[in-house]
Chains A and B, each alone.
Chain A
C-alpha cells in the first residue's frame, strides 16, 4: 500500500522566513487531497497502552490523522471522508483519547460528528452527534462537548459527555440566555464554570453542573464579534482574553489584536485591562487565532502570523508567509509545545516554540 508520508523538514531552508529565534521549524505535512485546507489540531491516540501525540488536519471533505514516525516526521495514518457537507472546523475534546469531533456545514454548522480512531485501521467510524441549526460548539474538560442550537425563541444549550467507547454517556441542557450564544469558553481551573459570548455583546456565565445561568454581563459594543480565547478567575474577578474587533482601525497608531478585560461577576462591571498590539510598522488585523497558557497566536489579514507573550505583554515573534503563501489558520498543539500553522493549499507547518 502506498503510504503518504511527510516531507522531511529542512529548517535551514526556512530561516529567512523567521525574524525570531523563538520558533523552530520541525516538519511540514503536505496534504495531497487537493481541496482547500480548513483546520488543524492535535490529539492523543492510545494503542496497546502507548499514548502518542497525533496531528489532525481537515480539508473540505477529508479529515486526516497523522501519527508521529519520529521527532520530525509524521505519517498520514487514517482518513475520514465526507461527501455532502464540507468540514468547517475541528473541535478537539480535552481528556479524551482516540476521538475528535468535527463541525460540518457550508456557512453555518449543520452537523456535529465524532470521529473515532479505529483499532484495525480500516473501518471508517464516525457518529452523528447533532444536526440542525448549530450556532456554536466547544470541547470541554471531563470529556464534554457543549453546543448552542435552534432559533432565538427556542435556543438549546446542550452538554454531552463522552463514554470511553466514544458513545454519548449523558446529555443535559443549560438554561439559555435571551441572546444567541455564538462562542463558548471554559474558565481555566474551574471545571464547572462555562462562559458564552452572545451576538448582543454579552458574556454569560453558567454553572455547568446545575445548568443555572448565573449572570449576563453586558460589555461595550466595541467588543461586538469578539471571541473569548481564554478565561481565568483571580482574586474574585474574571479575566478574559478576547480578540480585538479593531473597529477603530486607522484612528489609532496602536494596532490591537488581542485584549484582556476584567469582569466582576458579582456586579457585572467590567473594564479593559490590556491591549496586545502589533509592533510598529506591522500592518494587519485579526483574522483568526488561538491562545494556550500565556501565549497567543493570530493570523493577520496581511498573511503573517504574530505571537504574543501575554505575561510580557508584547509581540515576541512574527512568522511571515512562507513560499509566498499567506497563512490561513494557526493553532497551538494541546498535547505538546508545537505551533501548527496552515496554508489553504494543504501545507501544515509544525514549529517548536523554544
Chain B
C-alpha cells in the first residue's frame, strides 16, 4: 500500500474539519 495515494494530508485535520462542519 502507499499512503501517499490518500491525497493531501493535514496535521491539523481535526481542527480544520471542526471549523468546516455544520455546528
Contact with B along A185-208 (1 / 0, CB 8 A): 000001011000000000001010
Tell me the interface secondary structure of chain A in the complex: strand
Would you call B9 and A269 a contact (CB within 8 A)?
Answer: no
Would you call B22 and A271 a contact (CB within 8 A)?
Answer: no
The chain B residue sitting closest to A261, CB to CB, is B1
The chain B residue sitting closest to A264, CB to CB, is B6
Contact with B along A251-284 (1 / 0, CB 8 A): 0000000000011111101111100000000000
Q: Closest Cβ of chain B: how far from A269's Cβ, in Å?
A: 4
Would you call B23 and A212 a contact (CB within 8 A)?
Answer: yes
Number of interface residues of B (CB under 8 A): 18
Would you call A237 and B6 a contact (CB within 8 A)?
Answer: yes
Q: Closest Cβ of chain B: how far from A264's Cβ, in Å?
A: 4
Q: Please name all residues of chain B whose beta carbon is closer than 8 Å to the beta carbon of A265 when the two chains form the complex.
A: 13-14, 17
Q: Please name all residues of chain A whose beta carbon is closer than 8 Å to the beta carbon of B10 when the two chains form the complex.
A: 236, 266
Q: Closest Cβ of chain A: how far from B18's Cβ, in Å?
A: 5
Would you call A264 and B7 a contact (CB within 8 A)?
Answer: yes
Q: Closest Cβ of chain A: how far from B14's Cβ, in Å?
A: 6
Q: Please name all residues of chain A whose beta carbon is closer than 8 Å to the beta carbon of B7 when the two chains form the complex.
A: 264, 266-267, 269
Bound CA–CA A44/B5 (angstroms) = 44
Instruction: Say if the beta carbon of A18 comes within 8 Å of chain B.
Output: no
Instruction: Say if the beta carbon of A317 comes within 8 Å of chain B.
Output: no
Q: Closest Cβ of chain B: how far from A234's Cβ, in Å?
A: 10
Other-chain contact of A273, B1, B8, B9 (Cβ < 8 Å): B1
Q: Please name all residues of chain B whose beta carbon is closer than 8 Å to the beta carbon of A264 when the two chains form the complex.
A: 3, 6-9, 13
28 contacts between A and B (CB under 8 A): A205-B17, A207-B14, A207-B18, A207-B21, A210-B18, A212-B18, A212-B22, A212-B23, A214-B14, A214-B18, A214-B21, A215-B21, A233-B13, A236-B11, A237-B6, A262-B1, A262-B6, A264-B7, A264-B9, A265-B13, A265-B14, A266-B8, A266-B13, A267-B8, A269-B5, A271-B1, A271-B3, A272-B1
